[in-house]
Amino acid sequence: MKLTTGKRLLDTLLTSSLLASALLMAIPSFADDAKPTRVRGAITAVDGDVLKVHSNRGEDLQVNLTKDTQVRGVTLAQVADIKPGSYVGSAAVPQADGTLKALEVHVFPPEMAGTGDGHRAFDLGKDSTMTNGSVGDLVNSNGRTITVNYKGGQKKIVIPDDVPIVNLVPADRTLLKPGVKIVLQAQKAEDGALNAMSISAGENGVTPPM
């Protein structure tokens, strides 16, 4: 009797272990599906709540607008628009001295302060990162360097003279027209459709650099 009970216990533990392993293997796949898709390109057509977009990768995509899709404009800015206390984002690459070299800088309006706060990997180029936070120090001598503070950390970012600087401004769907350059984030539905979560659209011919 004791042997039978012990065998049953062993079988139960083995089954539970296999089930747990199967669930763990399934989790990364689910996480990958849930990760937003970033698309850079230009609008080629607008049909109601559907955008047709030609991506920078040469893909022709169809993206659905929803009631929750956020639209913001992208306008040209100057380094003078960056001040201590400004909330900014910057795609950048690491340098040997531990600082980051900006690939672009975008300045958020005050009402969007806190958006995407933090430092993480990004897909604008090899080893690129994205840092969103509040500007502390701003140094214009010997090159332009900003200190960006975010929850749990701080980064020094060097902004070369040729790096694009833009403002993000409030906008609506009237900005979404054929020929407009955009960067959007979309969630992929179970049927493969792309539903736009947010769209940054260039105003007056501006190409969003982020």
pLDDT of residue 141: 53
pLDDT over 50 (residue 19) = no
Alpha-carbon gap, residue 165 to 129, rounded angstroms: 16
Percent of the chain with pLDDT over 90: 75
Residues 129, 195, 128: CA angle, nearest 5 degrees: 10
Q: Given pLDDT bands bounded at 50, 70 and 90, which one contains residue 171?
A: very high
Helix (H), strand (E), coil (C) string for the chain: CHHHHHHHHHHHHHHHHHHHHHHHHHHHHHHHHHCCEEEEEEEEEEECCEEEEEECCCCEEEEECCCCCEEEEEEECCHHHCCCCCEEEEEEEECCCCCEEEEEEEECCHHHCCCCCEEEECCCCCCCEEEEEEEEEEECCCCEEEEEEECCEEEEEEECCCCCEEEEEECCHHHCCCCCEEEEEEEECCCCCEEEEEEEEECCCCCCCC
pLDDT of residue 137: 79
What is the per-residue pLDDT across 108-159, written as a single tens digit (0 to 9) for each?
999 999 999 999 999 999 999 999 999 997 776 556 899 999 999 999 999 9
Percent of the chain with pLDDT over 70: 82
pLDDT of residue 145: 92
pLDDT of residue 79: 87
Mean pLDDT check: name the lowest of 13-22, 84-93, 121-130, 158-167: 13-22
What is the per-residue pLDDT across 46-85, written as a single tens digit (0 to 9) for each?
999 999 999 999 999 999 999 999 999 999 999 888 999 9
pLDDT over 50 (residue 9) = no
pTM of the model: 0.80
pLDDT over 50 (residue 16) = no
Q: How many CA atoms lie within 13 A of 175 on its CB side?
A: 20
In this predicted model, which residue has the larger pLDDT, 43 or 8?
A: 43
